[in-house]
Chain A
Amino acid sequence: EIVLTQSPGTLSLSPGERATLSCRTSQSVRNNNLAWYQQKPGQAPRLLIYGASSRATGIPDRFSGSGSGTDFTLTISRLEPEDFAVYCCQQYGSSSITFGQGTRLEIK
C-alpha cells in the first residue's frame, strides 16, 4: 500500500500568516489522485482539494493544492481563525485508499 507522510506534525502560526503543509507518498500517485481534508474537533472531515490542485465546491480560494508524483503541498495563503484544524491528505491512485497521519494547525 502507498504510505503517506505528512509534515510537520504540528504547525503553530498566527491569523494572517501563510501555512504550508506537506504530504509525501511512498510511491508515485497515479494521475496525481490526491485529496486534502480539513477536520475540526467533533466533526466529520471536509473535502478541500481533489486531483492535487482542484478546489472542492465552496472552498475559499485562500486554499490551494499543488504537487505531483510523490510530493504534494496544501497552502493556506492567509490564515483565518476558522482555519485552525487538522489537515489530512488521502491518495486514491491505488485500489487501497490511504490517508496521511495529519497535520495539526494551531494558533500561535
Chain B
Amino acid sequence: EVQLVQSGGVVVQPGGSLRLSCAASGFTFRDHAMHWVRQAPGKSLEWVSVVTWDGFTTYSADSVRGRFTISRDNRKNSLYLQMNSLRAEDTALYYCAKDALGSSNWYYFDYWGQGTLVTVSS
C-alpha cells in the first residue's frame, strides 16, 4: 500500500523558516518525481514545486521561487520542502504528492499525503 506520511503542523512567524518532510513507502520512491501542492483555507489547490527522481532537477511556482527549496533523499525514501522568508499568504495545508508517471518529467498525482498545516502568523 502506497503511503505518504507527513510531519506535523506548525505555527511560524513572518520571515521565519520551516522544513516540511514526507516519508514514502509502498512504492519504489526513486522511480518517481515528487511534488508539493498547497491549499490555503477555503481555496483551491496550488502546485508548489517538483523534484525529479534523482533530485537534480527542480521546478517551482513563481509564488515561491527563490524562497522554497524542494529536495529528496532516496536512501531514506523522503521528500522535503525548505521554506524560507515565510509570508502570511503562505499559510496553507501542504500536501506531498507522488507523480503518477514521471521520473524525469512531471504529470499528475496519483497519491497524496495527509497534509501539513503551516500557519504563518505573529
A44-B113, A44-B115, A45-B112 are contacts. A92–B107 as well, Cβ < 8 Å? Answer: yes
- Do A45 and B47 touch across chains, with their CB atoms under 8 A apart? no
- Do A90 and B45 touch across chains, with their CB atoms under 8 A apart? yes
- Expressed in whole angstroms, the Cα–Cα distance for A47 and B110 within the complex equals 6
* Residues of B with C-beta under 8 A to A65: none
A residues touching B (Cβ–Cβ < 8 Å)? 1, 33, 35, 37, 39, 44-45, 47, 50, 56, 88, 90, 92, 95-102
In the complex, whether B28 has a CB less than 8 A from a CB of chain A is no
Shortest distance from the beta carbon of B14 to any chain A beta carbon, whole Å: 26
- Do A88 and B108 touch across chains, with their CB atoms under 8 A apart? no
- Expressed in whole angstroms, the Cα–Cα distance for A56 and B46 within the complex equals 21
Shortest distance from the beta carbon of A106 to any chain B beta carbon, whole Å: 15
Closest A-B pairs by Cβ, 3 of them: A44-B112, A35-B108, A97-B47
- Do B44 and A44 touch across chains, with their CB atoms under 8 A apart? no
- Do A47 and B100 touch across chains, with their CB atoms under 8 A apart? yes
- Do A92 and B106 touch across chains, with their CB atoms under 8 A apart? yes
In the complex, whether B59 has a CB less than 8 A from a CB of chain A is yes
Sample 24 A-B pairs with CB under 8 A, ordered by A number: A1-B62, A33-B108, A35-B109, A37-B109, A39-B45, A44-B115, A47-B108, A50-B100, A50-B107, A88-B44, A90-B108, A90-B109, A95-B59, A96-B47, A96-B62, A97-B35, A97-B50, A97-B106, A99-B44, A99-B45, A99-B47, A100-B44, A101-B44, A102-B45
